[in-house]
Amino acid sequence: MARNVHLQFILRDLLIQRAKLWIAHDACTAAEPPAPFAVVNGGAKAVLDNPGLLRMVLTDVVVLRVSEERSFRVQDCHLTREVTESELQFGVVTADLSMLKELVIRVRDREGRPAASQAFGLVRVGDSSREVHTDSEGEAVLLAAPGRYLSTAGGPHASVVQFDVGSSGNERHVIDLAAG
């Protein structure tokens, strides 16, 4: 039975001002892929069928860092969360994302200029890798979980960078990569 729920995203010092929310749910009975739900001011109204594992992807994300009154764009954010029967009955599912940190990866070419639309690899040690693309300024902004990461921008002279995203504080992590 489909149930209307309010998904609330909680982040320390950050607010998801708007985003598109794509949901894959183990117990979803929809015959075709659903359209995205709109996230506004940290929440979204969604429809879930049953309790179970909820896989979510936020795209076209605009985040506000409340303490600095500064907005920034995030390419995407992948989340998983187990949803219980009591949450469905109550109609509210809270996703605590407080552990996520702002991660800015800047890619520069051999002359030190921003590498626009540059693809680069990013892997959190112990997790799967993914390809990320820079914007017109040679940057990619992500919300990253604490852990050790490896990244490379490709090419024969590319740098491989290993770095840690810490678990404390609200700091912004900036990583520089050299493209080949």
Least confident segment among 58-62, 87-91, 111-115, 159-163: 159-163
CA torsion, points 37, 100, 10, 94, in degrees to nearest 10?
Answer: 70
The single-letter code of the amino acid at 79 is L
Strands (E), the chain: 3-10, 14-25, 37-40, 43-48, 52-65, 70-83, 92-96, 101-108, 119-124, 129-133, 139-144, 147-152, 160-165, 172-178
Identify the CATH assignment for 101-178 out of 2.60.40.1120, 3.40.50.300, 3.40.50.20, 3.40.640.10. Answer: 2.60.40.1120
Does the structure show a pLDDT above 90 at 125?
Answer: no
Cα 64 versus chain centre, distance: 14
Give the global pTM: 0.81
Task: Say which CATH topology domain 3-96 has.
Answer: Immunoglobulin-like (2.60.40)
Report pLDDT for 94.
Answer: 94
For the segment 73-102, the average pLDDT, to the nearest whole number, is 91
| CA angle (142, 146, 79) in 5-degree steps | 60
Question: pLDDT by residue (tens digit) across 85-96?
Answer: 999 999 999 999
Report pLDDT for 121.
Answer: 87
Report pLDDT for 44.
Answer: 95
Quick one: what percent of the chain has pLDDT higher than 90?
38
Report pLDDT for 32.
Answer: 53
CATH 2.60.40.1120 residue window(s) in the chain: 101-178
Question: pLDDT by residue (tens digit) across 16-65?
Answer: 999 999 988 664 555 455 678 999 999 999 888 889 888 899 999 999 98
